[in-house]
Amino acid sequence: MAQSEYVFQRAEDQRELDRLRMIEREFDPASRKRLLATGLQAGWRCLEVGPGAGSIMTWMGEVVGPTGQVVAVDLDPKFLGEAGQSNMKIVRADIRTAQLPEQSFDLVHARYVLIHIPDYEAALNRMLDCLKPDGWLVLEEPDFSASHGMTGSEAQLNAVQKVNDAIHVMYERRGMDYALGCKVQGLLQARGLQFLTMENDGSPSVGGSGLATIMKMSATQLREKYLATGVVSDEDLEQYCRFAENPHSSAIYYATIRVSGRKGS
């Protein structure tokens, strides 16, 4: 049976919170732009799936104001504390089985969530059930098949390739799709969503940049899981971390695919 525990579930709390906050700093601007493009405004009712450290949830709460609402669903909302605004609600639940009213949200958003769920189609279908007619779904998922080192020493580039292979093997053994991002548009198209738009953010990142630092953090936290694949060694992981710090290195660590679609009326 495929493992289904969240890959960062057993990470040390402070390290994981630091990683989530780094993700927010790196990716929130693009997420906010994509969400605003749906027409997000005061009075909307929004569902945030897997809110992480809560920055997008909090920001949406400010946008929709006191006449709107944001509901955040997370298996383990330990980094969210209490809802900071009266128009926000935190629900501890699995999106696949969460007790949420159907056809009740104007907008549903998830970032880096479906890739961690083996039966991601069940989660996707539940999100769509929650959307009102004419409501918007915005998904952001990574595509690790785009990963490759570009500039750096031969030893470091070899280590990058081995870590990329280990990520592939780790996800595969857990029954998850490491290239899910590139399939999201097709998944929404097959479900009849309209006005589909897609962005593919797969730009190179230099060592020491936000994404390189995030991937170094991930390699540190997931060290034992990467080693368990049998694809990488301790030396490979050390080389990979040095590569991620080296301002003269560059790599596409993964591509983020952002897709928006509107549910039919």
CB 189 within 8 A of CB 228: no
- Distance of CA 198 to CAs 1, 166, 182, Å? 33, 28, 10
Confidence at residue 8, expressed as pLDDT on a 0 to 100 scale = 53
- Is 93 part of a structural domain of the chain? yes
Measured distance CA(90)–CA(88) in Å, rounded: 7
Sheet of strand 205-206, all strands in order from the earlier edge strand to the far edge: 148-151, 250-252, 205-206
Confidence at residue 86, expressed as pLDDT on a 0 to 100 scale = 84
- Is 5 part of a structural domain of the chain? no
Residue 33 burial (CB count, 10 A): 11
Confidence at residue 172, expressed as pLDDT on a 0 to 100 scale = 95
Confidence at residue 3, expressed as pLDDT on a 0 to 100 scale = 39
CATH number reported for the structural domain that contains residue 202 in this entry = 3.40.50.150
Confidence at residue 11, expressed as pLDDT on a 0 to 100 scale = 55
CB 182 within 8 A of CB 143: yes
| Domain that includes residue 123, residue range | 13-262
- Is 146 part of a structural domain of the chain? yes
Confidence at residue 5, expressed as pLDDT on a 0 to 100 scale = 57
- Is 211 part of a structural domain of the chain? yes
Measured distance CA(185)–CA(206) in Å, rounded: 28
Phi, psi of 64 (to 5 degrees): -75, -20
Confidence at residue 179, expressed as pLDDT on a 0 to 100 scale = 96
Tokens of 229: 């694949």
Confidence at residue 2, expressed as pLDDT on a 0 to 100 scale = 39
Confidence at residue 1, expressed as pLDDT on a 0 to 100 scale = 29
Q: pTM for the full model? A: 0.93
- Is 45 part of a structural domain of the chain? yes
- Is 2 part of a structural domain of the chain? no
CA atoms within 13 A on the CB side of 10: 6
Q: Which amino acid makes up residue 163?
A: V
- Is 3 part of a structural domain of the chain? no
Query: Could you list the pLDDT tens digit for every one of the 265 residues in the chain?
Result: 233 555 455 557 888 999 999 999 999 999 999 999 999 999 999 999 999 999 999 999 999 999 999 999 999 888 887 656 789 999 999 999 999 999 999 999 999 999 999 999 999 999 999 999 999 999 999 999 999 999 999 999 999 999 999 999 999 999 999 999 999 999 999 999 999 999 999 999 999 999 999 999 999 999 999 999 999 999 999 999 999 999 999 999 999 999 999 999 8
- Is 7 part of a structural domain of the chain? no
Domain count, the chain: 1
- 3-class secondary structure, 139: strand
Confidence at residue 14, expressed as pLDDT on a 0 to 100 scale = 86
Measured distance CA(117)–CA(174) in Å, rounded: 9
Measured distance CA(242)–CA(207) in Å, rounded: 9
